[in-house]
Amino acid sequence: MSVPESVGLRFSAELRDRLVTLRRELHRHPELSFAERDTTARLIETLGEVGVSDVRRIGETGAVARISGRTRSAPAVALRGDIDALPIQEATGLPFASTVPGVMHACGHDIHASWAVGAAALLAADPAEGDVLVVLQPAEEVGQGALAVLESGAIDDARAIFGGHVDRRFTVGQVVADDGPLAASADTFTIEIVGAGAHAARPHEARDPIVALAAVVSALQSIVSRRLNPATAGVVTVGTINAGTASNIIPDRARATGTIRAVDSDSRALMHEELRRVTESIASGFGTEARVTIDRGPPPVVNPVEQAGWAREAASAVVGANNVVPLGFLNLAAEDFSNYMERIPGCFLRIGAREPGGPVIPAHSPTFAPAEDCLFVGAAVLAECARVASRSIR
Ligand SMILES: [Zn+2]
Ligand SMILES: [Zn+2]
């Protein structure tokens, strides 16, 4: 292992082998969001092997395990591992690469699921003060799994929640547990411009939705540049435009879809409002009508100060304070862990997953492969987060 000795010592040789085997098996058999049947069965089986048998199923593809604490009245804490894969054809060349065509653990959720099982094993052997709820969460990639877990009521008594993500921008053994914004909200918008169609040679008889939509798309660029505080990050991206059937026809409607990313709820609300206002007023200036719908995705991940402090204390105990490092840049990807944090305070961590000297490979790429030793860092850090939080909650 290339992980710090302090980490390795927390695992028996048997548990190390078990986790590596589990992780490789999950990687070999990835399953998409809400289809994680074999994954969950395998995870529950391994939990049983490490002495964790109090498991509640969440829908068909998720589960929450409860590990008893030392003191009945002590507060419960939740740990979350997401378990789903992505529709990507793997190109890592790993000996345990995906055997499922077009499906791959390209976001490291095979590692996250194994962290959850590893943390459960560590906590079963050396419990926290209170109960620990280990969440095996389906469907993170479609932003719906966390809500399904919350709606089940299975973690209603959790007073804090922790989770992490592999990150190849950091080497194995490094851990990020910053307070403040760590991931963005991701909301999807659809704009439909309704005009009036006509012959392309008689535009005066039309109300051209394509010209109106072109102006709308240009004007949307001013939301981030002119309306959002320049000290705050945000994104408005138009990802699709569709209109028309032939070169000599002005169609009666045009459609665009896109994404809005924000790192706090005020700028999120501002961008929603501006998107509607700009679109509707520009469309009406062109004599057309705008229909705007915004589907709210996960909110931003903003780690509160107190819980992030507990996570840093836990990470320092596992990897040493000098390996607890700042993120150093803002991340505008989304993570449905934020759905938990709307109800339960907690901390989302980044766990280093690059072998020393290795390349930075982005997640969601066909060659993404976290360094396997981060298995032990993540499991040990999450278990320690539960211990620190459960003795610190007032
Ligand atoms: Zn992902
Ligand atoms: Zn992910």
d(CA 115, CA 4): 17
Q: Residue 363: what residue type?
A: A
Q: What is the model's pLDDT at position 100?
A: 98
Q: How far, in Å, from the CA of 29 to the mean position of ligand 1?
A: 17
Cα Dmax for the chain: 80
What's the pTM?
A: 0.90
pLDDT in tens, 345-358: 999 999 999 999 99
Q: How far, in Å, from the CA of 106 to the mean position of ligand 2?
A: 8
Please give the full DSSP string across 305-374, using - where no structure is assigned. Answer: HHHHHHHHHHHHHHH-GGGB----S------THHHHHTTS-EEEEEEEEE-TT-----TTSTT----TTH
Q: How far apart are the two ends of the chain, measured CA to CA in Å?
A: 38
Q: How far, in Å, from the CA of 165 to the mean position of ligand 2?
A: 6
- Left (φ > 0), alpha (ψ -120 to 50) or beta: where does 181 sit? beta
How large is the average pLDDT for residues 51-67? 97
Q: What is the model's pLDDT at position 2?
A: 59
Q: How far, in Å, from the CA of 333 to the mean position of ligand 1?
A: 9
- pLDDT over threshold 50, residue 1: no
- pLDDT over threshold 90, residue 160: yes
Q: Which ligand is nearest to the CA of 112?
A: 2
Q: How far is CA 354 from the centre of its chain?
A: 19
pLDDT in tens, 196-246: 999 999 999 999 999 999 999 999 999 999 999 999 999 999 999 999 999
